[in-house]
Amino acid sequence: MITTGQIIRCKAAVAWEAGKPLVMEEVEVAPPQKHEVRIKILFTSLCHTDVYFWEAKGQTPLFPRIFSHEAGGIVESVGEGVTDLQPGDHVLPIFTGECGDCRHCHSEESNMCDLLRINTERGGMIHDGESRFSINGKPIYHFLGTSTFSEYTVVHSGQVAKINPDAPLDKVCIVSCGLSTGLGATLNVAKPKKGQSVAILGLGAVGLAAAEGARIAGAARIIGVDLNPKRFEEAKKFGVTEFVNPREHDKPVQEVIAEMTDGGVDRSLECTGSVQAMIQAFECVHDGWGVAVLVGVPSKDDAFKTHPMNFLNERTLKGTFFGNYKPKTDIPGVVEKYMNKELELEKFITHTVPFSEINKAFDYMLKGESIRCIITMGA
């Protein structure tokens, strides 16, 4: 391509300070360095993680910054040492990676790469610590190594999944974070058997993806738990069959679920980050065979407290990161599930906005109106 090895000037939505609307700017995007690729982003979406760090709650603020990590695009150029990707490839940038060399990458049981594991504080690239974005010579910081609120971005090749070029990027872009986290938590970690019961605590995007996994697995009962009753009708589209609003009961949720299911559900997934919900998820599974999976990220000082007899009575507690999917190895297969009509993505997409109106996506999420809002670049 003509742009190979050259600086590209393009539009990016820059967060200059915490909680303030993003500003459309012209940025310079440097060529990819060793083990990096430069991607033309065609579609991106907003995840709650972006909003959390944009608000700068509970972490060290790092601004100016280009957020976002759910996206789909086409490789524009590759840096030194990149052999598995080439210009023209259709790809999904991922917030975590797969170097292929560490013990985690060699393990069939782990997806927590030593080199490319999620790092929310890093504002530059791993190769040299420098940013590939700048405005008038001043660096603009990266986010999660992806920064897809830019028409072009630079990503480590280990964080790039090459996918079927026939897959519609305006749909499969949501596979690169929340959807896979919830879906994989159910299919890869909880592993419900056909006909079993599953409880989902938290019916946001990740919880609905977990419900979709339970639906695909053939669960007979999928019980949704949420404090917001407005979510219940929407959740039916994802296979949820019954609902519990904790505010409508005068006893703990785990007791309510145990009464509904003759002793507890077979599998449960906690998708809120609330430590109280984590305890409820564990204590609502049936003794002898119940498995609870923690998906949400707790606050730094939270502590999980339950009686040891809950373990001795043969309940199992597990945790998961990104649904136990290896980004480069497994995510192309999730896309194929959609292409084969095993996985439904359209129902997750509630809004679409042009890149020029990106702040509307934040409004929709902050008001609780959206599951996923697709942002069309170049529009």
The question of whether 271 is a catalytic residue gets the answer no
Residues 290/198, Cβ–Cβ less than 8 Å: no
Q: Measure CA 62 to chain center.
A: 21
The single residue of 10, 44, 90, 105 carrying the catalytic annotation is: 105
Contact 63, 16 (CB under 8 A): yes
**Are the C-beta atoms of residues 77 and 132 closer than 8 Å to each other?**
no
- What does DSSP assign to residue 265? B
Q: Of 3, 25, 28, 48, which one is the catalytic site residue?
A: 48
d(CA 36, CA 6): 14
From the list 38, 69, 231, 351, the catalytic residue is 69
In the annotation, is 117 catalytic? yes
Helices (H) and strands (E) in the chain, counts: 11, 17
Of residues 146, 181, 372, 373, which has the active-site annotation?
372
Residue with tokens 């996918």: 163
**E strand or H helix that includes residue 294:** strand 291-294
Catalytic residue among 102, 127, 336, 376: 102
Amino acid at 168: P
Catalytic member of 36, 38, 65, 70 = 70
Residue among 44, 49, 148, 186 flagged as catalytic: 49
47, 173, 284, 373: the catalytic one is 47
Q: Which of 25, 28, 55, 117 is catalytic?
A: 117
Q: Catalytic annotation on 70?
A: yes
Question: Do the bridges between strand 349-354 and strand 372-376 make them parallel or antiparallel, or are there none, so unpaired?
Answer: parallel
Judge whether 207 and 269 are in contact, CB under 8 Å: yes
Characterize 39-54 residue by residue with b for buried, 16 or more Cβ atoms within 10 angstroms of its Cβ, and e for exposed. Answer: bbbbbbbbbebbbebb
Q: Specify whether 113 is catalytic.
A: yes
Q: Indicate if 49 belongs to the active site.
A: yes
The string over 94-104, giving b where at least 16 C-beta atoms fall within 10 Å of a residue's C-beta and e elsewhere, is bbbbbbbebeb
Dihedral over alpha carbons 326, 348, 14, 118 (to 10 degrees): -20
| Catalytic residue check, 105 | yes
> Which residue among 113, 173, 271, 373 is the active-site one?
113
Q: Could you write out the DSSP letters of every residue in 196-254?
A: -EEEEE--SHHHHHHHHHHHHHT-SEEEEE-S-THHHHHHGGGT--EEE-GGG-SS-HH
Element (H, E) at 49: helix 48-55
Active-site hit among 10, 177, 271, 373: 177
Q: Out of 38, 98, 99, 283, which one is annotated catalytic? A: 99
Q: Are 324 and 195 in contact (CB under 8 A)?
A: no
Give the tokens for residue 223: 């019980």
Residues identified as active-site: 47-49, 69-70, 99, 102, 105, 113, 117, 177, 372
